[in-house]
Structure 1
Amino acid sequence: MARETGLHLDTVRRWRGRFARGGLPALADCRRSGRPARFTPVQVVEAKALACQLPAETGAPLSRWSCPELAAELTARGITGPVSASTVRRWLRQDTIKPWQHQSWIFIRDPDFRAKAQRVLDLYARTFEDVPLGADEYVVSADEKTSIQARCRCHPTLALGAARAVRVNHTYGRGGALAYLAAYDVHHAKVFGHTEARTGIDPFMVLVTQVMTQEPYASAKRVFWIVDNGSSHRGKKAAARPAAAFPTAVLVHTPVHASWLNQVEIYFSVVQRKVVSPNDFTSLTQVRDRLRGFEDRYNATAQPFQWRFTTSDLDDLLARLNRHTADHQEESSPAQAA
């Protein structure tokens, strides 16, 4: 019996003895020490169901639930008796339910989303219109990081110490803001950047000129510029402007609201973490010098990003969004009919 059940021999012997002495009633749980459970499984499930509802749908004037709010609501509705917030938190933790958190998303609005996204992804894979790129063809990802402020803290920043994090004073004086324009060579991990007082057509063209007048881009067969739909480089006129100045420059737009396809955004996230935060600069000159110094430091050791999102992943994403949209329409149609 122990071999069949995978239990220890002593365990089997104990239960067999209980059955021999008292039959089936002897197999019931014995009295145990400690306080019995105060809440039934049904009450726990109802608490989790309430947490999964939007507060506005239940009539509560809240944007999201917290554990104390849920505990008070459960008691007010008579679902449970008095219950502590820690108990509610323990229930929710069992199914990783976190009603106090939220994420945002945006539906695809670009009718040519797939075609535009595939063109960008193909360039990352070194193909364009189903033709492999040559050794003298380059892919550059470009964009602007706007409003980098110079916040001069009213008290000096304190370095970390034993069991103490870096301390940055909350109050600061404003020293202005600037924009950081950068172009990132996707396959060679090379960054070109400069700062401007503001973004616009002319600052973007300065960036294009900065790259296209350097080798190997100056003598390249084609240089593909991947950009989003910002005002500095949006539309057909924006695409024609770099090509007029540099015939080998080809502007390629990401779909609308799809800047996440632009690899330079990954570089900007690195800049945000390692250069800008925490923001403690005495002047805009110090901001410029720090950005320029980090750019040189980054280029000395940079490796291309390991971009793994392919056209197959794109098709899976679009299929999931189509299913989500269809399900949403089916759920809303009865209400609309009523």
Structure 2
Amino acid sequence: MPWGRGWPGRTGRVSRRATAITLTCDVRAVLAGRARSLTVPRRDWLRAAIVLAAADGASNTTIATDLGVCEDTVGKWRGRFAREGLAGLVDRPRSGRPARFTAVQVAEVKALACTRPADVGAPLERWSNAELARHAAREGIVAGVSASSVGRWLARDAIRPWQHRSWIFPRDPAFVAKASRVLDLYARIWDGAPLGENDYVISADEKSQLQALRRCHPTAPAQARHGPRVEFEYQRGGTLAYFAAYDVHHAHVIGRIEPTTGIAPFHRLVDQVMTAEPYASARRVFWVVDNGSSHNGQTSIRRMSAAHPTATLVHLPVHASWLNQVEIYFSILQRKAIERGDFADLDALGDRVMGFQDLYNQTAAPFDWKYTRADLLKTASGLALAA
């Protein structure tokens, strides 16, 4: 059987001073596995190779020559194994250099990193490791510390004060109540009762101001060692709006191109959906929408019910479009069909959008939506929002 990493020779005699090594079958199997492995640390491989060679009768001198180490190293690990077995091949605990900083000092620097710089008198909007180190020294938290040490401390708790994420605090006083209704619909529940097979949930919105950008030079296709090259400069060819209705539980998109947004274009989408099967003969069709001008307020609810009695318009809270599943589809459309696009005119842009819609419907599956009413209540509790 071939051995990895230069398996030691098996010739030579055991010197008078060398300790005889005897291995059980189980221990030999463990050591042989380490000696054959190409992934174990070299120190573990070397120690296993020393013991195996010693057990096969090789002298310390022969083992040292074969493995390229000194005889003292061979004698050390041979002796440790003879006295302690496999446990003797593990490094001894080391005291190391005494810690320069106390646990309290490290904790105070981490707390400083979680504080807005302006709140502690620093004319900054975000910390860097170097700025944290200097400020901690100025405040007397430490006598002095390097930026790299601060970086290691923060990395242990994944603290990154130089990063940020934008968000909008919920301002709708009925945020929880409105969002809960939508999340229940995603879970096929309405007013505490499960939806029937003939009930449908539609997530709808418009993607406005889609620009037909014509590149000043054609896009170069991908080649070996580099991807496509897209011309930076472009000419504007106008804008259009794309209205889409996404069937949440059946992953089907119905959409239309309009020259602009507005109440009339939105209701043309509603008519298009509600006059097509299976929605035309459905018992109920729930339409989840945000508070855009095309479909906001109580007037829009009455308008929807008057035009289609089986349709119910359900508004999300203000600034909660992230709960509207059609937005996920819009992001896929933007990334796969529009971004980096080169469109001769608005007709070419419209054809691309509708062509992608048809392609998407061929293989689409419902989104794996996991944010539930329970998650919403947890979020609301953390933000101290009233249910």
Aligned positions of 1:1-338 closer than 5 A: 9-10=87-88, 29=95, 40=101, 47-67=109-129, 69-70=131-132, 79=142, 83=146, 88-322=150-384
- Name the CA distance, whole Å, in 2 between partners of 1:68 and 1:155: 45
Larger relative contact order (C-alpha < 8 A, sep ≥ 6)?
A: 1
Aligned residue pair count: 302
Paired residue secondary structure (2:384):
helix
The worse-fitting range, judged by mean Cα deviation, of 38-47 and 120-129 is 38-47
Unaligned stretches of 5+ in structure 1?
16-26, 326-338
Q: 1:241 to 1:171 in 2, by over 3 A?
A: same
* Bigger CA radius of gyration: 2
Q: 1:221-275: per-residue Cα shift (whole Å, max 9, x none)?
A: 2211111111111111111112222222211111222222221111112112212
- Name the CA distance, whole Å, in 2 between partners of 1:93 and 1:255: 37
Q: 1:161 to 1:63 in 2, by over 3 A?
A: farther
The worse-fitting range, judged by mean Cα deviation, of 263-272 and 290-299 is 263-272
- Name the CA distance, whole Å, in 1 between partners of 2:94 and 2:154: 30
Q: 1:170 to 1:108 in 2, by over 3 A?
A: same
Paired residue secondary structure (1:293):
helix
- Name the CA distance, whole Å, in 2 between partners of 1:28 and 1:186: 60
Q: CA deviation at 1:118?
A: 2.4
Q: 1:142-176: per-residue Cα shift (whole Å, max 9, x none)?
A: 01112222222333323333332333333322222
Q: Which residue does the alignment assign to 2:57? A: none
Q: 1:76 to 1:152 in 2, by over 3 A?
A: farther
Q: 1:80 to 1:161 in 2, by over 3 A?
A: farther
Q: Which residue does the alignment assign to 1:18? A: none
Q: CA deviation at 1:204?
A: 0.6
State TM-score, norm by structure 2: 0.68
Paired residue secondary structure (1:303):
coil
Q: Kindly indicate whether the alpha-carbon contact (under 8 Å) linking 2:212 and 2:343 is maintained by their aligned counterparts in 1.
A: yes
Q: CA deviation at 1:44?
A: 5.3
- Name the CA distance, whole Å, in 1 between partners of 2:209 and 2:107: 48
Paired residue secondary structure (1:282):
coil
- Name the CA distance, whole Å, in 2 between partners of 1:222 and 1:40: 66
- Name the CA distance, whole Å, in 1 between partners of 2:101 and 2:207: 54
Unaligned stretches of 5+ in structure 2?
1-79
Give every structure 1 segment of 4 or more consecutive aligned residues whose post-TM-superposition deviation is greater than 6 Å: 36-39, 75-78
Paired residue secondary structure (1:233):
coil
Q: Which amino acid aligns with 2:355?
A: G
Q: 1:295 to 1:71 in 2, by over 3 A?
A: same
Q: Kindly indicate whether the alpha-carbon contact (under 8 Å) linking 1:149 and 1:279 is maintained by their aligned counterparts in 2.
A: no
Q: 1:160 to 1:94 in 2, by over 3 A?
A: farther
Q: Kindly indicate whether the alpha-carbon contact (under 8 Å) linking 2:133 and 2:144 is maintained by their aligned counterparts in 1.
A: no
Q: Kindly indicate whether the alpha-carbon contact (under 8 Å) linking 1:143 and 1:182 is maintained by their aligned counterparts in 2.
A: yes
Q: CA deviation at 1:99?
A: 1.4
The worse-fitting range, judged by mean Cα deviation, of 40-49 and 105-114 is 40-49
- Name the CA distance, whole Å, in 1 between partners of 2:108 and 2:154: 11
Q: Which amino acid aligns with 2:88?
A: D
Q: Which amino acid aligns with 1:52?
A: C
Q: CA deviation at 1:88?
A: 4.5
Q: Which amino acid aligns with 1:248?
A: T
Q: Which amino acid aligns with 2:183?
A: L
